[in-house]
Amino acid sequence: MPATFSDRLEIEVPTSWQELTDDQLLFVYRLLGEDVPTDRVMMYAFLRFAGLHILRKEADGRIYIIRKGTTAYPVSRDDLISGAMRLEFIGQPSPFPLRVGVYNGHRAVNPDLREFPFGHYLQVENYFQAFLRDGNEQCLSEIASFLYPDYRGEVDKTLRYNLLAWLYGVKQYFASEYPDLFRPAARNNDGEDDWPDMKAITEAEIRALNGGDITKTDAILAADTLGALAELNAKAREAEELNSLRSRQ
């Protein structure tokens, strides 16, 4: 709902990640990708989304003259800060899959990877883990080619931030939807995360889905990612229940 910004002006800005339009999300990710401090991102985004322009700062430094449309208004520095704080969600990553829908003319796949081939998901996950392990930027280019079909070339800072934020949201979503399949990573004796053997994991997941019948592998790789993960989650839950029963015997 609109917020009173001065005694004569009401403005309305998004107050959650879900409310951002594609253009607004692109604007925020461009700034975050350039490592602009979050409080400044909030202020820049507030002014842009509210359609406000700072004309000048008065001599005392506490009053600003802003313009909305063709009308100028005096507002205090505290007013501006209060307005920017309505976008404080920018300081926290989105807890659900979120991405720029179209980037440089390339349309993205569904944010939650619905209707996304399971084989493509496996490759994206392999590249993502490799990037986290080695920091190889080429991995992000490969990921972009799957999530923005036909995208080719280097990944700029904005797209880089977009991809990483998107995959973070995907992982949060998958962890909540498929809790038996996506468990917290194991830690070694030094308290550090153990890097998963992605080749072994991929082969095990495909084997679990095709039941050892390699003639079904192509169909498995072409299957919808969410359907494949739901089946793997069910199998993981069944295996855990079976282990629990055995431990009681």
Instruction: Report pLDDT digits (tens) over 61-85.
Output: 788 889 999 989 898 888 899 999 9
Burial status of residue 153 (CB atoms within 10 A of its CB: 0-12, 13-18, 19 or more): exposed
Measured CA to CA, the distance from residue 8 to residue 48 in angstroms comes to 19
Instruction: Look at residue 1 in the predicted model and tell me its pLDDT.
Output: 43
Burial status of residue 233 (CB atoms within 10 A of its CB: 0-12, 13-18, 19 or more): middle
Q: What percent of the chain has pLDDT over 70?
A: 88
Burial status of residue 123 (CB atoms within 10 A of its CB: 0-12, 13-18, 19 or more): middle
Are the C-beta atoms of 12 and 84 separated by less than 8 Å?
A: no
Give the residue extent of every domain in the chain: 3-91, 102-244
Would strands 63-68 and 52-57 be described as parallel, antiparallel, or unpaired? antiparallel
Helix/strand/coil for 54: strand
Locus of tokens 């179209």: 102
Neighbours of 84 (CB within 10 A): 21
The residue that leads in pLDDT, 86 or 189, is 86
